[in-house]
Amino acid sequence: MTQRKTISTTPKYQLGIDIGGTFIDLVLLDPDSGRIAVGKKLSTGSDPVRAVIEGMEEMLERENIGAQQVNKAIHGTTLITNLIIERKGAKTGLLTTKGFRDALEIGREMRYDIYDIFLELPRPLSRRRHRLEVTERLDNHGNVLIPLTRKEAERVVDELLDLGIESAAICLLHSFRNPAHEEMLRNLILAKRPRFPVSISSEVVPEVGEYERVSTTVANAYTMPVARRYLKDLDRGMKELGLGGRLYIMLSTGGITTPHTAADHPIRLLESGPAAGVLAAAWIGRQTQEPDVISFDMGGTTAKTCIIENGHPVRVNEFEAGRVYRFKKGSGLPIKIPVIEMIEIGAGGGSIASIGPMGLLKVGPESAGAEPGPACYARGGRAPTVTDADLILGYLDADFFLGGEIQLDLSLARSAFEERLAKPLDLTIEQAAWGVHEVVNENMANAARIHAVEKGLDPRRFALVAFGGAGPVHAYEVARKLKLNKIIVPPAAGVCSAFGFLLAPMSFDLSRSYVTRLDAIKWDRLNAIYEEMETTGYSLLLDAGVAPEQIRFMRWADMRYVGQGFEVQVSLPGGKFSAESVEAFRKTFEHNYKNIYQRLCEEIPIEGVNWRVVATGPSPEIDAIKWWRSADTGSNPQKATRKAYLPGLSDYTEVPVYDRYAMPAGYAIEGPAIIEERESTLVINGPGMASVDAFGNIIVQVR
């Protein structure tokens, strides 16, 4: 008779859960000892919650831990990002002020590259026939010029719903000053269709900037139906599993919030998984005495890069999602939300390779996901993908993918490449596979290079922190293209973003627009704005379980010289503001402005545009992490050799393969080499030295 395991029930463990387009990643932390356990499982595209719950059950059973012993689960996802990049969101309708139907396509009325005749613009998330105009008008102070009548509101709402839309966005001119008309339209929709997904711009992004506001509101509506269903199912699944604590959701800022708040603002989850990866990369950089690093996170569907200076990532209040043309600024959809600044492209292990319109290899943004997955998964996929290329090149072990949980089929990968790429391009299968590998590496290196140049930085002085299931496979070539000398691959690299969730504080960002010159500020109004935002933030954090004495507020403002189109972010002190505050505002603005532009325009007045608050709880303190199972120093780390393609030789050669779990601190090897763990594979397909540091990180010195 099999003896039943005794499972502890004392709540103490923290669980990070990251869902991507292809895999579910899990990290379980024992905060007392710093030990971690990890899990990775194929996602289920039609029902992603099922994979999360199944993955949790399997990992908890493996570690002999009950769900009731987990006192906090933090979840993030690339689900929202993938919906936008792959254009798989809801059929979204838009109600807007008469004359502004085409604002999504007109944009800023500028070409981001005036000399490029092949310039592409992002495709709007709401089709033109689903965008309707409503007769109403406010002035820039929120005063009603043309009232919205009940008859007009009912007419346009009925017409919109008759189009068969699945979600609605409402963005009226100057509604951030006066939301009454937007609220009337929303209430009518909900009266006719209770619980229908509706997003209004005065709640999603109550800030000046018509194009950015409508783009963000439409994106929120576009993703809301999927996000609502997912978060509701996830919360229910956690309760049925018997979770001992609460479920929290990661935001794009690197903070966390409740599922209820996240469901109302799904666009704020756009970079939730990647943001957690950046937090982890910054923590790893500080741990290894490398405060300046480039975070390189490549999963199954997307790849993300972020530049981290002095140990902290940069936060911005607007970014572009899904840049469509050579990663150029202006070629993506503007999203006006607070976010950790990074560049994301549709290049992951499951990204589909094809022949582009000019007869050249093209990779992504379409992904095979987990269903049907890459051809080598033998789950029905027929299109060649990056994972298929890596298998053909010998970088992946068909028998040890995900620790042997998934058996890869090399013959299916070769057939897909032969049929779709090699024959049409008159290449060998190996040449086509290396071409795909090179294209995706160059795409990622170019994205990181452009990101650095936009910030005025030289990427060569940074180290590359590589993680994600596919990140370590491609890190060496990406580093060489960027001329970086050092790569850091952390323990459990394949699930590093899930670990980053455990580093996040409870927080929420709020903002309000109030455009005024500093010498004309109405101080009662400004104080009321901050009081209202801080009260809202206080309530959100209390609801999320933060103790009142641990809640802190950070104040910011977007300021500019009168007449400028771009703002500079300025930190503001707490307390009541008065006329005596003007000088402090001015000095802080001028200091920040000069750091960016190296000059001042002292003769031009300064104005405030947006006023912001970050409500936050305490940041978790994690000094170090340890392997759940330490390296076996008595075994030989080299477990085999395998033929792999080496670009320096333009041929396959026998390469040593190492077991990462058997590599103790201080162990060093010379490249070329392949280092395998269950969740990812590090490929050094050229000269270099790799060693294991005291924290379990693999440090690669690129030569």
The answer for 62, left when phi > 0, alpha when psi is -120 to 50, beta otherwise, is alpha
Distance of CA 2 to the CA centre of its chain: 45
For the beta carbon of residue 409, count every other beta carbon within 10 angstroms.
17
Of 21, 72, 73, 71, whose CA–CA distance to 48 is shortest?
Answer: 21
The token pair that represents 628 in the structure block: 């759940």
Q: What residue segments make up the domains of the chain, in order of their start?
A: 85-224, 507-616
Q: Which amino acid is at 98?
A: K
Distance, in Å, from the CA atom of 59 to the CA atom of 65, rounded to the nearest integer, reads 9
3-class secondary-structure state, position 545: coil
How far is residue 34's CA from residue 626's CA, in Å, rounded to a whole number? 6
What CATH number has the domain spanning 507-616? 3.30.1490
DSSP state of 421: I
Q: What pLDDT, on the 0 to 100 scale, is given for residue 503?
A: 85
- Give Cβ neighbours of residue 317 (< 8 Å, ≥ 6 apart): 336, 337, 338, 339, 511, 558, 569, 610, 612
In DSSP terms, 537 is beta-bridged to none
Secondary structure tally for the chain: helices H, strands E: 17, 36
Along the chain (703 residues), what's the average pLDDT of each consecutive run of 10 residues? 44 83 82 80 76 87 88 85 84 95 84 75 90 94 92 95 96 92 96 95 88 94 93 89 86 84 88 85 90 89 86 81 66 84 79 86 80 87 93 93 84 94 93 93 88 80 92 94 94 86 84 91 94 91 85 93 88 91 93 86 92 87 60 74 90 93 90 90 94 90 90
Structure-block tokens of residue 128:
């033109």
Please name the amino acid found at residue 41.
K
d(CA 374, CA 348): 11
Instruction: Determine the Cα–Cα distance for residues 478 and 496; give it in Å rounded to an integer.
Output: 19
- State residue 327's pLDDT score: 57
Q: Name the burial class of residue 639, with classes exposed (0-12), middle (13-18) and buried (19+) by CB atoms within 10 angstroms of its CB.
A: middle
User: Structure tokens of 70?
Assistant: 């987990």
Residue 636 neighbours by CB distance under 10 Å: 9
Name residue, tokens 């026998």: 654
Torsion of CA 257, 260, 264, 270, to 10 degrees: 40
Peptide bond just before 206 cis, omega within 30 deg:
no
pLDDT at 392: 95
What stretch of H or E contains 649?
A: none
User: β-strands 568-572, 137-138: how paired?
Assistant: unpaired
> Looking at residue 525, what is its pLDDT?
94
Q: Which sign, positive or negative, has the C-alpha torsion 166, 168, 169, 173?
A: positive
Secondary structure letter of residue 46 according to DSSP:
T
**CA 582 to CA 564: how far, in whole Å?**
20
> Cα–Cα distance between 553 and 165 in angstroms, integer?
39
Write out 62-131 in H/E/C secondary structure: HCCECHHHEEEEEEEECHHHHHHHCCCCCCEEEEEECCCCCHHHHCCCCCCCCCCCCCCCCCCCCCHHHE
| 3 state SS of 695 | coil
Compute the chain's Rg from CA coordinates: 26
- Per-residue tokens: 36: 């971690």
What six digits make up the tokens of 545?
């379980």
Q: Which two tokens stand for residue 243?
A: 């979770």
Q: What pLDDT does 5 receive?
A: 43
For 129, which DSSP code? Answer: G
Q: Tokens for 439?
A: 């294209």
Distance CA 312, CA 111 (A): 33
pLDDT tens-digit profile of 247-282?
Answer: 888 888 888 888 888 888 899 888 887 888 898 899
Cα(617)–Cα(553) distance, integer angstroms:
9
Task: Report the pLDDT value the prediction gives residue 544, as an integer from 0 to 100.
Answer: 77
Residues 6 or more apart whose Cβ sits within 8 Å of residue 677: 492, 493, 494, 659, 660, 661
pLDDT (0 to 100) of residue 7: 46
Q: What is the pLDDT of residue 326?
A: 55
Residues 467 and 348: their CA atoms lie apart, in Å, by: 12
Alpha helices in 256-374 (DSSP H): 259-264, 272-287
Residue type, 303: A
Give the 3-state secondary structure of 564-600: CCCCEEEEECCCCCCHHHHHHHHHHHHHHHHHHHCCC
Q: Is 575 left (phi over 0), alpha (psi -120 to 50) or beta?
A: left
* In contact, 531 and 613? CB cutoff 8 Å: no
- Which residues, other chains included, contact 238 with Cβ-Cβ below 8 Å and sequence gap of 6+? 53, 73, 247
Pick from 108, 454, 491, 87: nearest CA to 305? 454
Residue type, 466: A
Give residues with Cβ within 8 angstroms of 566, minimum separation 6. 560
Give the phi and the psi of residue 351 in degrees, each rounded to 5.
-65, 135
For 500-522, the three-class secondary structure string (H helix, E strand, C coil) is: HHHHCCEEEEEEEEEEEEHHHCC
CA distance 455 to 114: 21
> How many of the other CB atoms lie within 10 Å of CB of 71?
16
Reported as type and span, the H/E element at residue 552 is strand 552-561
Q: Are 570 and 556 in contact (CB under 8 A)?
A: yes
Instruction: Please spell the DSSP secondary structure of 282-313, one letter per residue.
Output: HHHHHHTT--SEEEEEE-SS-EEEEEEETTEE
C-beta of residue 131 within 8 angstroms of C-beta of residue 92: no
Rounded Cα distance between 691 and 499, Å, is: 22
Residue 281 and residue 250 in contact, taking contact as beta carbons nearer than 8 Å: no
Describe the strand order of the beta sheet including 167-171 as a list of residue ranges: 131-134, 92-97, 167-171, 198-200
CB neighbour list of residue 524: distance below 8 Å, 6 or more residues apart = none
Distance CA 461, CA 380 (A): 44
